[in-house]
Structure 1
Amino acid sequence: MHQKNLRRNTQKNSIPASLEVNLNHGTKPVSALSIDHSGARLISGSVDYEVKLWDFAGMSSSLQSFRTIRPCESHPILDLHYSITGDAILIISGTAQAKIVDRDGYEKAECVKGDQYITDMARTKGHIASLVGGSWHPRDKQEFLTCSQDGTCRIWNVEDVKQHKGIMKSRSQNGLRAAPTSCTYSRDGNLIACACNDGSIQMWDHRRMFVNTSVLIRNAHQTGTETSGITFAYDGRNVATRGGDSTLKLWDIRQPKAPVLSAENLYSRFSMTNCAFSPNDRLLLTGTSFEKGESGGKVVFLDRNTFERVHEIDVPKAHVVRTLWHPKLNQIIIGAGDGNVHLYYDVAKSHNGAKLCLGKPKKIRQHDVMSTVRVITPHALPMFREDKPRSTRRAMEKARKDPLLSKQPDLPIGNKGSGGRVATSGSTLSSYIVRNLGIASRIEDEGNPREAILRHASAAAANPYWVSPAYSKTQPKPIWAPENTDGDEEPEAKKGKLN
């Protein structure tokens, strides 16, 4: 008993979970996670259709992603995988076409879609139903695997995505089509395994024809549930499956009739919940969702030999969807249902990763700093040559005080126009506009309009330009009426008749 507790404490101490860092992806559940082999970059996908790329070395303590893409329009991201060299990313979404993007998120290839009117799936060039999972070959950077609800798993080549390279049909016990729910390669790439919705686990040998299965486990999980995760151990002898029936089972591929060990009461709401082995191959971890009355989800660590719960990490107010334990970084990455990516690490046991970005100060954005552009003119005359400023800060402060260089807006109008721009022309805005219009046209407010017009008569007669030359031959000579100085005297035409 003492040795058992000692071993349990030793395994618990090997879990790097003393510190935590949160990366905010969004508000929807993080349904896909992947880290490249070197541990330099992290990619996260969500059901909000977005994929974010994180660079640990280039990220500051502000913890912002360097790129956000929406590769599959309005389709949720179900799975993400880095290739073995880290230069390509496999994106599995709700569409029937898988996409390959490069390390910076730019699209490289897109798999072809099959003909949905053909019954034989072997005669279609691609999937005809929505994808559910995928994986890269562990040793060949050109090959990847996809599985779909059309009942097939297909092997592709990155250089030629116009047609699949190989196809495997998953069948139920009565010979009908069984839809896969997840798929993966073995560690050496010799086996291709998929879990189906009829509760079975089917494996094919990569070195042979994909006609019959090499390993077949019927009723591995409850029929009708989605087995959300399947992964091989590092030694290649065992395979773990995360069932939608709230169970986690460990199988021996040499004796697949019954599970070696099984754990229950691992409730999960998501069809993307997976399981993973620790780098030393002694622990098995998976995530759980919280039910009504519970405070949050958990990351459960199980002993591989006994399936006893060694440790649990509580994630408050969030479901645990994805779990990763990177062997090189020795850090645990969790994709939660609240839209955050939780990174657990230890100062002494972990390396790089989240430890790189926490010590860096926050970067100042470009639009927060007012920069001045200096034009270099080496051959200009001395009187036009601009002296090189000794201090950029002093030049920025000087430009800030200059209303023209800083583009200072107009000062606000004071109360009732006193002290503002309106006060110079009147007490109201209308008088200010009228005065400005009058000044612009040079018309005085209190002038006689007739005199203002006749003032230009001599200039128009001396230098006719527009109207006068056109009517010079036909227009009669204008006779101006004399100005009426007495306002009380009526014109002759309007005088009354005398008897």
Structure 2
Amino acid sequence: MDANEGQSSDGDIASVMGFSGFGKKARTFDLDAIFEQTRRTAIERSQRVLEEREKDSQMKDPGESSHSVTNTSKSKVTSSRKQSDSSSDSNSDSEIGPPLPLQHQPEEEDEELVGPPLPPGYTGSTAHSDEDEEDEEEDQNEDDPVKKIPDTHEITLQHGTKTVSALGLDPSGARLVSGGYDFDVRFWDFAGMDQTLQAFRTLQPCECHQIKSLQYSITGDVILVISANAQAKVLDRDGFNVMECIKGDQYIVDMANTKGHTAMLNCGCWHPKTKEEFMTCSNDGTVRTWDVTKEKQHKAVFKPRSFQGKKVIPICCTYSRDGRLVAAGCQDGSIQIWDRNMSVHTKYHCRQAHIPGSDTSSIMFSYDGVTLASRGGDDTLKIWDMRNFKKPLNVANGLTNYFSMTDCCFSPDDKLLVTGTSVKKDEGNGKLVFFDRTTFERVYQIDVTNASVVRCLWHPKLNQIMVGTGNGLVKVYYDPVKSYRGAKLCLAKTKRKEKHTEMLAQDYIITPHALPMFREARQRSTKKQLEKDRLDPKKSHKPEPPVSGPGRGGRVAAHGGTLSSFIVKNIALDKTDDSNPREAILRHAQAAAEDPYWVAPAYTQTQPEPVFAEESDEDEDADKEPEWKKRKI
């Protein structure tokens, strides 16, 4: 069958079946023509570029330079042509794979193009889709750390009316704990909250002392509570007391000889590797490490000293990421770092890190452990290189700081540095400022609220930023695409409906002088009615208690699993009525007579036939006597 006949038959079938064809035909490409067009466009483009360069050079310096440029341009054009010709020759000589069929072999004599002309910007690739452009945009966004800041959405948690001075997130990011100047510690569970955003527990673990710091341990099972008291506390996840540090003797001069702190605490944190160890610093001029299992005495004491050897008060303290170093920011503006195993002499010491007399509110190691960031009370933010600790790498000025616990922290990718600014009342908005770690330029900022920004956390797993403010709010910034769980969980839950128990069902008209038959019953509140319904077993749907005894009301008591209950069930509680033993024996008489097996065959020759007494009529009359004539037994 010819091709034309096949096409006509296909057309006839298509017309009979009622559609236009059997689908789209596959597109065919002439690869040789495409390659030839690509080569020509490349040559033309190179010629155009060289001509433009030649014109520019003639405009700048006419003369000999123009000849040299034209000569070089001509040589470049000829060289490019030679290279293209050589590449085509080499491709023709070194063929890989089976040879092309005759209809696809290139014709050297025919230089006419086959197929539609390609666009002038064509560079040799068969297609340039929108997906490639999107991938390029995503790559650019990944390189830009500002694009990773999750600030498109926010929620507000109302802690109270006073400053939120402490924030803590557990390692999994499921629970948030906040503390403030109002002595309260509030527990927030993202998975358990609904859209009302209410804390599930509020307590005052340190009575009338302001909360300075809160932090979950590395396992997330306990919380370290640092207050304005001399004794630190450790609580479990539900707020119950686990341990309390001992208080030292305030009359001893050498603080190394006391078992605990003797003055107000300033800061504290957990060890990043050892789950039982934590650290505290106090106004008594010491930094102490503790063990949760040994609350009667500290583990080690670090005593910061000034240049003259005098006592210096540490304001903030932290561990390095590997837990080997202990760092403290002091009141005289110095930053002192010790080796954890050598508590006497400092390993790194910078005397003039910040202005003396200003409280260094926060120090934080980067995730790679190479740099250290310090937030000073002198309105500065500095970054230090641990390999050269004499002077800071970069300094940012003009960051107002009114609090001794203003935070600074690194982003999860270690490319940004974040801190908050303070403002006076009704003098502007507190801001969350983002700095590039390498250039230390202010790349981004967020206007939080009309109060100071005190605490800030950037959780690496959730990719959400928690901010504590000076007016009692906790702001949570997140991105629905870049963030995970956390604030996204509680917003997905609808608000629970409240029961209005004290509201009357309908209006009640009081008629005090009406007759009793026309007087309406006094309306009661639904609360009392609910209490009455609760006592009613039918209205409250009280479940029936288990049956005790043999059973009643058609219910059978469940038998136990003991041997005696098994015997009672199978042997003692037989359904047959054995009240008349004579009838019980005669019940089996016929079966024994017809098929004797045990006793009867042995007595067949000697045993007489049994004769039983028959009931007489007198006995029947005696049974019919009235009850009052029967003798009492």
When normalised by structure 1's length, the TM-score is 0.73
Aligned residue-pair number:
377
- Opposite residue 140 of structure 1, the aligned amino acid is T
AA paired with 2:211? I
Query: Which residue does 1:287 correspond to in 2?
Result: 420
Q: Which has the higher strand share?
A: 1
CA displacement at 1:375 relative to structure 2? 2.9
Tell me the equivalent position of 1:397: none
1:254, distance to aligned residue in structure 2 (A): 1.2
2:493 corresponds to which residue?
Answer: 360
Paired residues of 1:11 and 1:310 also in contact (CA < 8 A) = no
Q: Which residue of 2 aligns with 1:72?
A: 206
2:543 alignment partner, one of 371, 376, 383: 376
Distance 1:116 1:366, change over 3 A: farther
CA contact (8 A) 1:199 1:224 kept: yes
Alpha-carbon offset, residue 7 of structure 1: 8.5
CA contact (8 A) 2:302 2:343 kept: yes
Letter in 1 for 2:542: V
Deviation of the 1:376 alpha carbon: 3.1
Query: Which among 381, 385, 407 is matched to residue 274 of structure 1?
Result: 407
| 1:55 counterpart = 2:189 | yes
Q: 2: distance between equivalents of 1:183 and 1:364?
A: 46
- Superposed, 1:344-359 pairs within 5 Å as 344-359=477-492
| Bigger fraction of residues in helix | 2
| Residue 310 (structure 2) pairs with residue 176 (structure 1) | yes
Are residues 1:264 and 2:401 paired? Answer: no
Shift of 1:374: 3.1
Tell me if structure 1 keeps the 8 A contact 2:180–2:212: yes
Instruction: Find the aligned partners of 2:327 and 2:376 in 1 and give their Cα distance.
Output: 15
Contact 2:142 2:148 in 1 (8 A): no
Q: 1:194 is matched by which residue type in structure 2?
A: A
Question: Contact 2:426–2:450 at 8 Å: present in 1 too?
Answer: no
- Matches of 1:322 and 1:107, distance apart in 2: 25
Report 1:22-37 matches (<5 A).
Answer: 22-37=156-171
Amino acid at match of 1:117: Y
Instruction: Select 1:187's aligned residue among 309, 316, 321.
Output: 321
SS at match of 1:122: helix
Question: Is the Cα–Cα contact under 8 Å of residues 249 and 260 in structure 1 kept in the other structure?
Answer: yes
Residues 8 and 310 of structure 1 are in contact (CA less than 8 Å); yes or no, is this contact kept in structure 2?
no
**Could you list the runs of 5+ residues in structure 1 that have no partner in the other structure?**
1-5, 384-499
The answer for the alignment partner of 1:442 in structure 2 is none
Q: Offset of 1:209 from its aligned partner?
A: 2.1
Superposition deviation, residue 273 in structure 1: 0.3
Taking structure 2 as the reference length, what is the TM-score of the superposition? 0.58
What is the aligned partner in structure 1 of residue 441 from structure 2? 308
Say whether the 8 Å CA contact 2:424–2:451 is kept in structure 1. Answer: no
Partners of 1:162 and 1:85 in 2: how far apart? 23
The structure number with the bigger radius of gyration is 2
Aligned to 2:466: 333
| Residues 53-111 of structure 1, C-alpha deviations (whole Å, 9 max, x = no match) | 11111111110111111000000000011000000100000000000000111100000
CA distance in 1, matches of 2:394, 2:296: 42
Q: 1:338, CA displacement in angstroms?
A: 1.0
Q: Secondary structure at the match of 2:144?
A: helix
8 Å contact 2:141–2:147 — kept in the other structure?
A: no
RMSD value over aligned CA atoms? Answer: 2.0
1:45 aligns with: 179
Give how far 1:294 is off. 3.7
Instruction: Kindly provide the amino acid, as one letter, of the partner of residue 30 in structure 1.
Output: V
Distance, in Å, in 2 between the alignment partners of 1:200 and 1:170 is 9
Q: 2:245 aligns with which of 101, 104, 111?
A: 111
**Does 1:83 pair with 2:217?**
yes
Match of 1:414 in 2: none
Partner of 1:403: none
CA–CA separation in structure 2 for the residues paired with 1:248 and 1:278:
15
Amino acid at match of 1:209: M
Instruction: Kindly provide the amino acid, as one letter, of the partner of residue 456 in structure 2.
Output: T
Partner of 2:382: 249
SS in 1 for 2:488: helix
Q: C-alpha separation between the residues in 2 aligned to 1:48 and 1:292?
A: 18
Gaps of 5+ in 2: 1-139, 502-526, 535-539, 555-633
Which whole-Å CA distance do the structure 2 matches of 1:365 and 1:193 have between them?
51
CA distance in structure 1 between the partners assigned to 2:449 and 2:417 by the alignment: 21
Separation in structure 1 between the aligned mates of residue 487 and residue 295 of structure 2, nearest angstrom: 36
- Structure 1 residue 136 and structure 2 residue 303: aligned? no
Post-superposition CA distance 1:278-330 (Å, at most 9, x none): 00000000000124774210000000011111110002312100011000000
Identity across matched positions, percent: 55
Alpha-carbon separation, structure 2, partners of 1:311 and 1:51? 31
Q: Deviations over 1:216-239 (max 9, x none)?
A: 011100000100000000000000
Specify the SS of the correspondent of 2:188: strand
Report the Cα distance in structure 2 between the residues aligned to 1:263 and 1:125, rounded to whole angstroms.
Answer: 40
Q: Which moved more, 1:293-302 or 1:220-229?
A: 293-302
Given candidates 351, 355, 358, the residue that maps to 1:225 is 358
Name the counterpart of 1:237: 370
Q: In 2 relative to 1, CA 209–269 (structure 1 residues): closer, same or farther, beyond 3 Å?
A: same
Q: How far, CA to CA, are the matches of 2:165 and 2:344 in structure 1?
A: 33
Question: Displacement of 1:334 after TM fit?
Answer: 0.2
Letter in 1 for 2:446: I
